[in-house]
Amino acid sequence: MKDSYKCAIIGCGRIASLFEDDPDRNKPCTHAGVYNKINNTELVCAVDIDKEKRKKFKTKWNVPVYDNIKDVFKNHNIDIVSICTHPKSHRLIIEDVLKYKIKGIICEKPITNNKSDAEKILTLSKETNIPILINYNRRYDEVYRYAKEIIDNKTLGDVVSIKGNYYPGTLYAGSHIIDIMIYLIGNIEITKGFITKNDEDNNTNNLDNGFVGAIKFNNNIYGLLDITSGRNYRYMGVDIHLSKGRILIEDDCEGKGTLKLYKSIKSDINSMENCKKLKLFKIKKSKKNNMVEMMFDLINSIKENKKPISNEITSINTLFTILSFYNKEEIESL
């Protein structure tokens, strides 16, 4: 018989539930949707301070929704907690739920909005040994994991450079591209560039600032990062040039990624004997659901007492990179 986990969600907004109503997204695409999909997880309740959000969530998922965390643990034995609130609140909520006998936490990105709280979360994790998974779900996408395998095995030689492209917002959505570049290449050591101001006129409905500039990884690999405004469409792209080929990943931000592999071959231009050309030799598309794979990883981490693939340590590296754009220890979350 499989283990069964009772789950609660704190915060009833978009990633908690509302994105399930988006017809373009690969389902499930929310915390509630995943808990409802997997056989050995059961969504038993939720929390939100907003009355209208409580009402919508209760209607959709047919579970009690409270206005405070204390009532959750007073009325239910909870194993897994999802934290789907603003980054500034994450540390206090993590502290609060760790007082109870829970088995695991899924926290939304970014882990928090400041260095001090991030370090406190790291200390809490060490003291309690409870798995904390941060929702950078592209670490669970098969095309990105395949790309990492190629890089680690040097199938196409050494990495020469990498470029990451995402629609705007460094702290929220755009942090996905930063995290996946760290996952593929290594921790980012130096950033040099410009903060771009986003506004409501570019149809992104996102006031989170962008960034464009150069980055250096701790293994002396260099890259470019473009998280700028001006686009009215969702897009994520990773372009990696290696000594013997190229990896191009294009992501529609709806749970469907496409990877293209190119290898260098002899050019048919006689006058350029030492110059090779790139030839496309493989296309791979995402088939599995990232959110489901992420939940399986948390359950496996609980069973085997180990850290999830996306955890508080990897996510702190992502946050510290974002803070370096601003040369600050805190960014006011929106």
| pLDDT per residue as tens digits for the range 180-226 | 999 999 999 999 999 887 654 444 444 578 899 999 999 999 999 99
Burial profile 173-196: b = 16 or more Cβ within 10 angstroms, e = fewer:
bbbbbbbbbbbbbeebeebeeeeb
pTM of the model: 0.93
Q: What is the pLDDT of residue 114?
A: 95
Q: What is the pLDDT of residue 22?
A: 92
For residue 94, give the H/E element and its range.
Answer: helix 90-97
Instruction: Report CA Rg, the chain.
Output: 21
Backbone conformation region of residue 62, classed left if phi is above 0, alpha if psi is from -120 to 50, else beta: left
Q: Residue 177 in contact with residue 144, Cβ under 8 Å?
A: no
Q: Residue 32 in contact with residue 106, Cβ under 8 Å?
A: no
| Cβ neighbours of 138 (radius 10 Å) | 25
Looking at domain 142-287, its CATH class is alpha beta
Backbone conformation region of residue 291, classed left if phi is above 0, alpha if psi is from -120 to 50, else beta: alpha
Q: What is the pLDDT of residue 168?
A: 67
Q: What is the pLDDT of residue 84?
A: 98
Task: Give domain 5-136+291-311's CATH number out of 1.10.645.10, 3.40.50.720, 3.40.50.170, 3.40.50.970.
Answer: 3.40.50.720
First to last CA, the chain: 44
Q: What is the pLDDT of residue 275?
A: 79
Residue type, 326: Y
CA 254 to centroid of chain Cα atoms: 13
Q: What is the pLDDT of residue 331?
A: 82
Q: Which residues pair with 264 in a beta bridge?
A: 278
Give the neighbor-by-neighbor strand order of the sheet with 104-107.
65-66, 41-47, 5-10, 80-83, 104-107, 132-134
Q: What is the pLDDT of residue 205?
A: 45
Q: What is the pLDDT of residue 115?
A: 95
Q: What is the pLDDT of residue 267?
A: 80
What residues have CB less than 8 Å from 181, skipping those under 6 apart? 162, 164, 188, 215, 223, 225, 238
Task: Profile the chain (334 residues) by mean pLDDT over runs of 10 residues.
Answer: 87 97 93 96 98 98 98 98 97 97 97 96 96 97 97 98 89 91 97 80 57 96 89 88 98 88 85 79 95 97 97 96 91 65
The CA distance from 33 to 25, in Å, is 12
Residue spans per domain, the chain: 5-136+291-311, 142-287
